Amino acid sequence: MPPSALLVANSVAGSADDDVVAAVAAILREGYDLRVAGPDTPTALTAELAGFDGDRVIVAGGDGSLHLLVNTLAGIGRLDDVAVGLVPLGTGNDFAAGTGIPEDPLEAARTCLGAMPAPVDVVVADDGEHVVNAAHAGIGAVAAEHAQSAKPLAGRLAYPLGAIQAAVSEPGHQVTLSLDGTTVHDSGMLFALVANGPRIGGGTRMCPDADPADGLIDVLVIDSMPVHERAGLGIAIQRGTHLERDDVHSWRGAELHIAGDAVDHNRDGEILHGLADVTYTIRPAAWHLLR
């Protein structure tokens, strides 16, 4: 008998994604005794996972869907005994790209058939929330919030549109950042990133060397700057030369503490407003990914 697996896919009935999910399920049934679930609330997802006794859970979605799945598994105490597969169906799919999962959903589904579970790190905030790909504070969180409202019409273009809106409106913040107990930044900050994967915002490689299986977080900070200087920063980011700038700083470590002004944070696309004291800690090899 083939091993059992649960496919979690919250697609809209009759949509293009719904057709893709059906095709994904057909592929997965070649190697699994597959059950398909479409929970539309976190409570429903918890019930589905609590009632599943297999050790393969495959999510069809983006970073936000994976974020919810990992947090739900952690909440019911199953994060370390379930292997997670990912079929990218989100807008940005940054975590999938950063871990080498095929962009095509059907190809990703076939990868899940023969893949072995590989250990992957997770970043845990001091309120217990698990961050799969990245958490960032400041202008990036504001840009992401603008992008969310534009996604239904603009798709991937929502990310640069959100960045432009935030660039002309978001002020800097006074914060102190301590990495592994040592202060690394104590002045104005426009953007602070805690990266587990190399990409954010639908393809922007802010920390190109970040590896979600190396037991470390990559930290990047951009100093406060006048609005008229931000276009040059944006061009450098798009070209991948931002790390060469004097107002962009990066480090690697295990735990980052951010304190100071109340700042909005983005955790895998989930926005939290006005956080003034937050700690992010890497938890090495906390879960397993089929890849």
CA pair distance 240, 238, nearest whole angstrom: 5
Find the mean pLDDT for residues 158-175: 62
| Residue-wise pLDDT tens digits, 224-265 | 999 889 889 989 999 999 999 999 999 999 999 999 999 999
Of the candidates 118, 112, 116, the one whose C-alpha atom is nearest the C-alpha of residue 31 is: 112
- The mean predicted confidence, pLDDT, of the chain is 90
* Confidence band for 202, pLDDT divided at 50, 70 and 90: confident
CATH 3.40.50.10330 residue ranges in the chain? 4-115
- The CATH code belonging to domain 130-284 is 2.60.200.40
* Statement: the pTM of the whole predicted model exceeds 0.95: no
Class of domain 4-115: alpha beta
CATH 2.60.200.40 residue ranges in the chain? 130-284
- Alpha helices by DSSP H, listed for the chain, are 16-28, 42-50, 63-75, 94-98, 105-114, 139-154, 158-167, 230-239
Q: Residue 163 pLDDT > 60, yes or no?
A: no
Question: Would you tell me the crossing angle of helices 158-167 and 139-154 to the nearest 10 degrees?
Answer: 140
Beta strands in the chain (DSSP E): 4-9, 33-37, 56-61, 83-88, 117-125, 130-131, 134-138, 173-179, 182-195, 217-223, 248-253, 255-267, 270-290
Neighbours of 27 (CB within 10 A): 20
